[in-house]
Chain A
């Protein structure tokens, strides 16, 4: 059985003390324990920003690539070696801004990977500019008259694109978040878990503010109902639902296991046969 200690390493953290990223880190480890996966069978792909540092703090395989580019890397790793559990970790700027096109097409392509988005509505590592999910009117050093662009709702977008698994978590609700990540990893297909992760330093709202608004979806909610899912995903003012908003079964990429990493080198006879077709 996997233990939480299996996933600990001695890399020192560069996150702010008390950051809700630590809860996400614990939730991810909890999910690994729950799913009983070995560190060697996990690859976490991350981008740039504070979220991108997460895999360094977990004892597992890591590919910390470029800002916005987690999904193509993670998709290919999973395609080459489907035995690996592949997770992409990114912030809202990384996944919804820089990597937006990859996200759109990951919904379509549907690789069996799980995406964890630390959504704090701010570019924290670059010291507080607006992100694609910052609310209208919020003033920052750069948007000094307030944000005039409408915030993006990634969950509505995901449902519109028939994403396999769409969930919202809250970094202030560790148990439920651990459960959502566990279910997201287990779900066959592309799983998007958007996590409300208030930023201590630059955030507009802090954990207590969210605690009053956030609630867990109950068993009565049917995530197979697409219309209901749109409605729930749009709910983000007075009350904010967390849980699995939408699930959908569809073919994954690649369509078959190509056994790419294991199979022997191609027989030269096949190459010779191909050459014959040019005669």
Chain B
């Protein structure tokens, strides 16, 4: 497997993410896979920003501890990120010291060739591309495509600067230049987790989204808004998250599939609305993009600290779905599933992402569009006999549903406890029946959940259990550990709640150790498994705001369970 890892660093405002995006797109168009994570601060200018980018000839979904190439646009950043570069790695930066750095005049090239120091990031693109060793034309095409949107002149300047620094490496650093071949194959996509979530919503026939901007989930409404002329989806930036969820509920009541998205702080404000959706049995999908809390926490970093919150949020008792996609393909598919089951059972569905999934660039071969099948869960007005009962008591707890205005049947919803028609009641017998009606759905809801158990699980020494976005990382660690002689398999939960525990995890005779990997302090998912009777042997927990690396998990397992 061929793999090159790159750090691009500099201050906020120097266009680090642009470098990353252009390189990612050019890599994929050269036939390789790319994965890139954004490590940035909550600021607009200055500070420390880096993009971590991996090129490979096989799918990549995780980060290493050490990198092959560093390109830096800022002296302070060079010092910060140098320790992450391998001994034989290459560092490209403007640097007069006698350190082991290729002293490439990025700003000078930008000024002389592009006539503005802002093009230093284009110079960085050309330099990295030359070191990676792919033909400059691929980068040129991406730059032209992306910057012509701004202006022809800006596109041209980016291109000539990138070409110049590419040539500079060819002429001044023969040793650092590698050469790899462009690969042919079917076109692949580069997209973020947020974009995949948004595309999933489009595919699921979502027609309305309201949200208040909050990192790391703002990208979802941004994408749905910028594509709305093509899709016809109505998006609205709400005054706060309370308005956002109530708008989503209103839209759903009126008869369309609706969405909202936020992060932990915003979700805290939505909690009252979540309870309203549950009581009125109004289907909605809420994307909760996790970041480290409590309170404002680390706004631009990653964590999986809101699982228990998502599970227990809101007053009163009611069933809900929770999904946690591990990558864009799952994000796309699980958004469709979240909409479908939310409609089917008339319960809220929460999709948990995190900054690692939401902001990273991932390579996707394809989304399976053709096999998407959506169902209409509304009832036909002509099939309603007598006065319409929005909350009709049924065997499975699911009542008929109509749209207001569609027919002479009136649609009555109440946040108070209500009778079968939707009018408020304080009758104790009806109250009991209505609580039971809402919970009757749970038995069927659990049957909707899927967990994949590997066939060779009984042969393994270690079973890594992860959930959500850690899957890419645990998967890579599993390969590394198995190669080291520690037979490791993995169960990743992307469909979290109602929790379906595979029997194998409850087997008392099992020989393998169960190790849960989570980005939080308490091991929240491990706790849920333990409640269901699973004996968790070890927890690997990380809560410093950064994602796990494949090396980190491999090292911890090796130290604990490795044979000497």
Residues of A within 8 A of B (CB): 11, 39-41, 43, 45, 48, 53, 56, 59-66, 69, 71-77, 79-81, 83-84, 101-102, 104-105, 253-254, 258-261, 263, 265-266, 268, 270-275, 278-279
Between A and B, 11 residue pairs with Cβ closer than 8 Å are A40-B408, A43-B254, A43-B405, A59-B410, A63-B253, A64-B415, A66-B246, A76-B254, A77-B253, A77-B254, A266-B232
Chain A residues closer than 8 Å to B413, beta-carbon distance: 62-65
**Bound-state Cα–Cα, A253 to B250, Å:** 15
Q: Name the residue on A nearest B28 (C-beta).
A: A279
**Closest approach, in angstroms, between the C-beta of A76 and any C-beta of chain B?**
3
Interface residues of B in 212-257 (CB under 8 A from A): 227, 230-232, 234, 236, 238-240, 242-244, 246-251, 253-256
Q: Say whether A279 contacts B188, CB under 8 Å.
A: yes
**Bound-state Cα–Cα, A263 to B234, Å:** 13
**Closest approach, in angstroms, between the C-beta of B239 and any C-beta of chain A?**
4
Q: Say whether A254 contacts B249, CB under 8 Å.
A: no
Q: Say whether B251 contacts A77, CB under 8 Å.
A: yes
Q: Say whether A61 contacts B243, CB under 8 Å.
A: no
Contact A278 to B191, CB < 8 A, known contacts A41-B405, A76-B248, A105-B239: yes
Q: Is the CB of B369 closer than 8 A to any CB of chain A?
A: yes
Chain B residues closer than 8 Å to A254, beta-carbon distance: 234, 236
Q: Is the CB of B42 closer than 8 A to any CB of chain A?
A: no
Q: Say whether B369 contacts A272, CB under 8 Å.
A: yes
Chain A residues closer than 8 Å to B108, beta-carbon distance: none
Contact A62 to B372, CB < 8 A, known contacts A73-B247, A80-B254, A81-B404: no
Q: Name the residue on B nearest A108 (C-beta).
A: B239
**Bound-state Cα–Cα, A259 to B255, Å:** 12
Chain B residues closer than 8 Å to A59, beta-carbon distance: 410
**Bound-state Cα–Cα, A40 to B232, Å:** 26
Contact A258 to B234, CB < 8 A, known contacts A63-B250, A105-B239: yes
Cβ-neighbour of B415 out of A66, A79, A83, A104 (below 8 A): A66
19 new A-B contacts, CB < 8 A, other than A66-B415, A101-B239, A279-B28, are: A40-B405, A62-B410, A64-B413, A65-B249, A65-B276, A66-B272, A73-B250, A76-B258, A80-B208, A80-B254, A81-B254, A81-B405, A102-B239, A254-B234, A258-B234, A260-B251, A260-B256, A268-B372, A271-B203
**Bound-state Cα–Cα, A43 to B258, Å:** 19
Chain B residues closer than 8 Å to A84, beta-carbon distance: 254, 404-405
Q: Which 4 A-B pairs have the closest CB atoms?
A: A76-B250, A73-B250, A80-B254, A72-B246
Q: Say whether B243 contacts A102, CB under 8 Å.
A: yes
Q: Is the CB of B189 closer than 8 A to any CB of chain A?
A: yes
Q: Name the residue on A nearest B426 (C-beta).
A: A14
